[in-house]
Copies of this chain bind each other. A is one copy, B any other.
Amino acid sequence: MLNRVVLVGRLTKDPELRYTPSGVAVANFTLAVNRPFSNQQGDREADFINCVVWRKPAENVANFLTKGSLAGVDGRVQTRSYDNNEGRRVYVTEIVAESVQFLEPRNSQNNQQNSGSQSNNNYAQGGYAPNQNDNRGQQQGGYKDDPFANDGKPIDISDDDLPF
């Protein structure tokens, strides 16, 4: 059924790249998306939207985006649940990005290191490339909780979370 999300915002932190036991890359990041209207106190707020991206685009995200980078996401809303360490069921809504667009010019602020530049275009595209062969990274661990609460520690992401 129709399920489509498009976002443009800035990463609140560096993305986190992991690999499932079978070697599939996953990156998590949060986009801060400013609201187009002010609240009753006259302030502009933002939404902090958790995103996940799989496979090759996950590695591109990890390589090209850092805290503060401007990025566009085209994807789907997904929901899942897990039992936290108090045995309580937790419900999660997040955006599965099918493609990620890098909107930060390559030569800007903290992106200096990427200025190698193979293209005549300062922006890069993290599209979805279906056929790849990508099982170098490996990672496991006793993880049984929300990835978003688990920065950097070893985890065990099930391949069941794969969105295709």
Q: CB within 8 Å of B: which residues of A?
A: 1-9, 33-37, 39-40, 47-50, 70, 72, 74, 76-79, 93-95, 99, 101, 103, 105, 108, 123, 125, 127, 130, 159-160, 162-164
Inter-subunit contact A127/B37 (CB<8 Å): yes
Q: A8-B72, A40-B159 are in contact. List 4 more A-B contacts (CB 8 A).
A: A1-B34, A1-B101, A4-B6, A8-B101
Inter-subunit contact A79/B49 (CB<8 Å): yes
CB distance from A32 to the nearest CB of B (A): 9
CA distance A2 to B50 in the complex (A): 15
Inter-subunit contact A4/B74 (CB<8 Å): yes
CB distance from A57 to the nearest CB of B (A): 11
The residue in chain B whose Cβ has the minimal distance to the Cβ of A4 is: B6
| Residues from chain B with Cβ under 8 Å of A48 in the complex | 79
| Residues from chain B with Cβ under 8 Å of A1 in the complex | 7-9, 33-34, 36, 72, 101, 125
Inter-subunit contact A34/B125 (CB<8 Å): yes
CA distance A160 to B163 in the complex (A): 30
Inter-subunit contact B6/A49 (CB<8 Å): no
Inter-subunit contact A39/B9 (CB<8 Å): no
**Among A1, A108, A164, which residue has the most Cβ atoms of chain B within 10 A?**
A1
Inter-subunit contact B33/A101 (CB<8 Å): no
Q: List 5 A-B contacts (CB under 8 A).
A: A1-B7, A8-B72, A8-B103, A47-B79, A105-B108
